[in-house]
A and B are shown apart, each in its own frame.
Chain A
Amino acid sequence: MKLDLILRVTTKAILPFILLFALYVHFHGDYGPGGGFQAGVIAAGMVILYSIVFGVEAAQRVISQRLVATMVPLGVLIYGATGVISFLYGANYLDYGVLGHDSKHGHHLGILLVESGVIITVAGTMTAIFYAFVQRGR
């Protein structure tokens, strides 16, 4: 147990930076490479790293299975609801032009909302797949 001290301390130290990088990739996806899909996978990678080093029970105390199971449909709902909001403003489904005070800002906001839906679903699904495989083995 003592031998993996360095592993444990380093993992604890880099975990917040992995999450920060995921959020950077998500919110900077408009200006550089990245977006919801990549950010979701990186965020799931953080949970996977934590479970590999500290055990899956420790990870599930932080990110419970119930939370993960909620995230999977929640992202799809956010995506779908963005389209419904455009409906309510009198535009076509997923036409973001009406979301902001002018068309350009509306499109930018719409892209961000939709990508938020994607990151939640992808992060949730990848974590759920990992949990499912690990828990089957015990």
Chain B
Amino acid sequence: MQALDAIVQNYNYAITVFLMVSGLYIVIASGNMIKKIVGLSLFQTSVYLLYISAGKILGGTAPIIDRNYTIYSNPLPHVLILTAIVVGIATVALGLAIVARIHEEYGTIEEDEIFKETGL
């Protein structure tokens, strides 16, 4: 019972770590730049999960004040992550624009082919 409890308690943190590690793995292991950017956004999204998990109170409700409720989850992480999501799409769009330009210049978006072409 205690072991099950420990799993339930730490499940959010475990998944956060897994998502972050997977994102990092895709960014390093994949040579394709579009997949790299998808990995980068996985990495960002894991941070959202960590923050929102910290702000959650079990039995609480969303932080919109109402007479019928007294316990609210913490609104501060929500604000920080709202900011982070929109900045995240901005960086992803900029990264993809650079990928499109790289394709125009080199005719490929595979890292290894570009390295071969430039002799690095």
Contacts and interface: CB of A to CB of B under 8 A. Distances in A.
Report whether over half of chain A's contact residues are helix, strand or loop; otherwise say mixed: helix
A136 B102 CA distance: 13
Interface in B68-97: 82, 86, 90, 93, 96-97
A33 B64 contact: yes
A32 B64 contact: yes
Contacts, number: 16
Interface residues of B, number: 9
Interface in A111-138: 122, 125, 129, 132-133, 136
B62 interface: yes
Contacts of A129: 93, 97
A132 B94 CA distance: 11
Which 10 A-B residue pairings sit nearest by Cβ, starting from the closest? A129-B93, A37-B86, A136-B100, A37-B82, A32-B64, A122-B86, A132-B97, A133-B100, A33-B62, A33-B64
